[in-house]
Amino acid sequence: MEAANSSAMAKSGDSVAGAVTPERAAYYEKIGKKNLAPLWEVLKGLVPAEPRTPCATAMWRFEDVKNMVLEAGTLITAKEAERRVLVFENPALRGRSRITQSLYAGLQLIMPGEVAPAHRHTASAIRLVLDGEGAYTAVDGEKTVMRRGDFVITPNWAPHDHGNTSKEPMIWLDVLDLPTVNFFDAAFSEHLDQEKQSNTREDGDSYARFGSGVLPDGAKVLNRSPIINYPYARLKPVLERMEGAGEIDPHHGARVRYANPFNGGWATPTMGAQLAMMPKGFKGKDYRSTDGTIFVCLEGEGTTKVDGETLEWGRNDVFVVPSWKRYAHMTKNKSVLFSISDRPAQESLGIWREQN
């Protein structure tokens, strides 16, 4: 197989060093039998002048997919599915369960009275609540009731389960670093013995301990945030204060990051999330960066131009801007956009880059 691949490459004539001679073709076939290949034939693809992402710009309108998510609730239970999710597949990466090269995303449904059983895994996860109110997630002993706009973290290897004690279905966005973990062949998972874990801390405990401008003396410093739930009701007033004070970035609006209170860095070491408020009539300047980014509209409506393509978004719509694609946001009225990407991972490797 290796020899055939080397021969096919040689006969293609796409050679960085010029036309492939019969001698070179014979050489490529010979080294292919030893699982070797000539770097000079593939160098430009391995070391491009700038990022050339295979991902496509894409958008999912919530009004188009909500009923499909709810229909899944009539076909399979949360216990059967373990996690009843419709995966956002990037149209250029179908079948690979990813929205960008490094991130998985999907819409999870939990119906009234259901429990999604406790498990844990190497991949870190976040939840952004989009529809419904009153379901809970329990993470590492803390049970937190979720409301629309809340940002919930499930750290690496933390036990977690979900339940819905309300009278209405609950839908939220899941984003996990599964493709990143699987790239390193470092994935583990485990089912817990009990359907629901024992909770040792009350709702809001981690936010009260770590999100109030103080830290418990002697607390173990972590490379991720100890806060389980960042309530939207507490974050929106911060954005409103920034907007009122004129602290509006020309590209992103009034924007905050979900931070690790220990060091002010990102909430997780692999995924960075931000929340931005843009005033009515905002016309953002062009921007691009190397982190392919997932956006969700929590409030308002507007458009985002991505390399000449215009996306029109409104409440709960999800869209993705691939790596190194120029984009600019414009709003019809005051709007709030949530965003998440692999920027922390790129920054830790020293490869993240932006261009205004």
Q: What is the CATH number for 265?
A: 2.60.120.10
pLDDT for 195-211, tens place per residue?
887 788 888 899 999 99
| CA 112-117-119 angle, 5° bins | 145
pLDDT higher than 70, residue 9: no
pLDDT for 36-77, tens place per residue?
999 999 999 999 999 999 999 999 999 999 999 999 999 999
User: Which residues neighbour 131 within 8 Å (Cβ) at sequence distance 6 or greater?
Assistant: 62, 66, 148, 169, 170, 171, 172, 316
In a domain, 53, yes or no: no
User: Which residues neighbour 41 within 8 Å (Cβ) at sequence distance 6 or greater?
Assistant: 9, 10, 14, 15, 16, 17, 28
Residues in the chain: 356
pLDDT higher than 70, residue 17: no
Are 37 and 174 members of one domain?
no
In a domain, 52, yes or no: no
Query: Strand ranges (DSSP E) for 140-271?
Result: 142-145, 151-154, 160-164, 170-176, 189-191, 229-230, 254-257
Q: Which residue has the tokens 């690496």?
A: 156
pLDDT higher than 60, residue 15: no
Query: What is the rounded distance in angstroms from the CA atom of residue 219 to the CA atom of residue 180?
Result: 29
Are 161 and 232 members of one domain?
yes
User: Which residues neighbour 182 within 8 Å (Cβ) at sequence distance 6 or greater?
Assistant: none
- In the DSSP assignment, the letter for residue 313 is E
Are 119 and 41 members of one domain?
no
Q: Are 16 and 41 in contact (CB under 8 A)?
A: yes
User: Which residues neighbour 244 within 8 Å (Cβ) at sequence distance 6 or greater?
Assistant: none
Q: Are 316 and 277 in contact (CB under 8 A)?
A: no
Question: Could you give the number of structural domains in the chain?
Answer: 2
Classify burial at 245, counting beta carbons within 10 Å of its beta carbon; exposed 0-12, middle 13-18, buried 19 or more. exposed
Q: What is the pLDDT of residue 225?
A: 96
pLDDT for 61-118, tens place per residue?
999 999 999 999 999 999 999 999 999 999 999 999 999 999 999 999 999 999 999 9
Annotate 145-176 with b (16+ C-beta within 10 A) or e (fewer).
bbbbbbbbbbbbebbbbbbbebeebbbbbbbb
Q: Which range has the worst mean pLDDT, 72-76, 213-217, 274-278, 339-343? A: 213-217
Q: Give the confidence band of 18 by pLDDT, cuts at 50, 70, 90.
A: low
Q: Rounded to 5 degrees, what are φ and ψ at 108?
A: -105, 140
In a domain, 334, yes or no: yes
Are 185 and 263 members of one domain?
yes
Are 314 and 193 members of one domain?
yes
Q: Which residue has the tokens 């700038």?
A: 50
| CA 274-278-284 angle, 5° bins | 95
Are 31 and 166 members of one domain?
no
* Category of 178 on φ-ψ map: left (φ > 0), alpha (ψ -120 to 50) or beta: alpha
Q: What is the pLDDT of residue 13?
A: 40
Q: Rounded to 5 degrees, what are φ and ψ at 183?
A: -60, -35
Q: Are 312 and 303 in contact (CB under 8 A)?
A: yes
What is the domain extent for residue 171? Answer: 58-355
In a domain, 51, yes or no: no
Are 180 and 35 members of one domain?
no
Q: Which range has the worst mean pLDDT, 17-31, 125-139, 254-268, 313-327? A: 17-31
Percent of the chain with pLDDT over 90: 90
In a domain, 221, yes or no: yes
Are 28 and 81 members of one domain?
no
Give the residue from 114, 14, 45, 30 showing the smallest Cα distance to 74.
114
Are 8 and 148 members of one domain?
no
Q: What is the pLDDT of residue 6?
A: 45
| Amino acid code (one letter) for 142 | E
Map residue 219 onto helix, strand or coil. Answer: coil
Are 246 and 134 members of one domain?
yes
Q: Are 108 and 126 in contact (CB under 8 A)?
A: no
pLDDT for 153-169, tens place per residue?
999 999 999 999 999 99
Query: What is the rounded distance in angstroms from the CA atom of residue 93 to the CA atom of residue 133?
Result: 33
pLDDT higher than 50, residue 10: no
Are 206 and 174 members of one domain?
yes
In a domain, 349, yes or no: yes
Helix (H) or strand (E) holding 78: helix 78-81
Q: Are 153 and 144 in contact (CB under 8 A)?
A: no
Are 204 and 284 members of one domain?
yes
